[in-house]
């Protein structure tokens, strides 16, 4: 149970980081933290106490194994997270070239 609470805390830290920080690099890091928290939650969902990897080998009997589906899903979601992070970092670099700052409060040309 405490693991789940820690996972939630991680999620909230990420959310706080996205909402409150002014440096856009820190916002991107916050986004990463949110993604990791969700991924961690997904792996925890499939975890069993003292479970082992669900690999079927000869002359072995597996009694207690972890659920493999969340692991496969998390792998996909990590790849997606990588793509999003790469894209946003690329945009952040371009923003720095145009505005000369990473401060989100100074990047305000759109309004209305």
Partner 1 sequence: MPFFVIIPLGAAFLVSLLGKKIKSVGDVLANLGTLSLLILSLYSIKLVNMYKVLVYEVGSWVPPIGICLVLDGLTSFMLVTVNLVSFLIALYSVNYMEKYTDKYRFYTLFMLMLAGMNGIIITGDLFNLFVFLEIASISSYALVAFGTEAEELEASFKYAIMGSVASSFVLLGIAILYAYTSTLNMADIANVLSSKPSPLLFSFLAVLFLSGFGLKAALVPFHAWLPDAHPSAPASISAMLSGVLIKVLGVYALVRIFFNVLGINNFFLSMLMFLGVISMLVGVFLAIGQWDFKRLLAYHSISQIGYVVLGIGLGTPLGILGGLFHLFNHSIFKSLLFLNSGAVEYSLGTRDLQKMGGLREKMPITANTDLVASMSIAGVPPFNGFFSKLIIIFACIEAGRFGYAICAIVGSILTLASFMKVQKYAFFGKLSQKWQQVKEVPVLMCLAMVVLALICLAGGLLITPFFKSFLGSAVDVLLLGTGYSGTIFGALK
- Longest CA pairwise span in the chain (Å): 69
Minimum distance of partner 1 from residue 3's CB (angstroms): 13
Q: Which is nearer to partner 1, 50 or 111 (CB)?
A: 111
Binding site for partner 1 (CB under 8 A): 11, 15, 18, 24, 27-28, 31, 34-35, 38, 41-42, 45, 67, 69-70, 73, 76-77, 80, 83-84, 87-88, 91-92, 94-95, 98-99, 107-110, 112
Minimum distance of partner 1 from residue 53's CB (angstroms): 19
Q: Name the nearest CA neighbour of 71 among 51, 46, 52.
A: 46
Minimum distance of partner 1 from residue 27's CB (angstroms): 6
């Amino acid at each position: 149970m405490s693991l789940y609470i820690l996972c939630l805390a991680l999620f909230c830290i990420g959310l706080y980081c996205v909402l409150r920080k002014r440096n856009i690099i820190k916002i991107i890091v916050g986004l990463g933290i949110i993604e990791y928290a969700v991924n961690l939650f997904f792996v925890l969902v499939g975890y069993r106490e003292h479970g082992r990897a669900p690999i079927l080998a000869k002359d072995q009997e597996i009694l207690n194994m972890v659920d493999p589906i969340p692991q496969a899903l998390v792998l996909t979601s990590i790849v997606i997270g990588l793509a999003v992070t790469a894209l946003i970092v690329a945009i952040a670099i371009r923003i720095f070239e145009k505005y000369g700052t990473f401060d989100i409060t100074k990047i305000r040309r759109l309004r209305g």
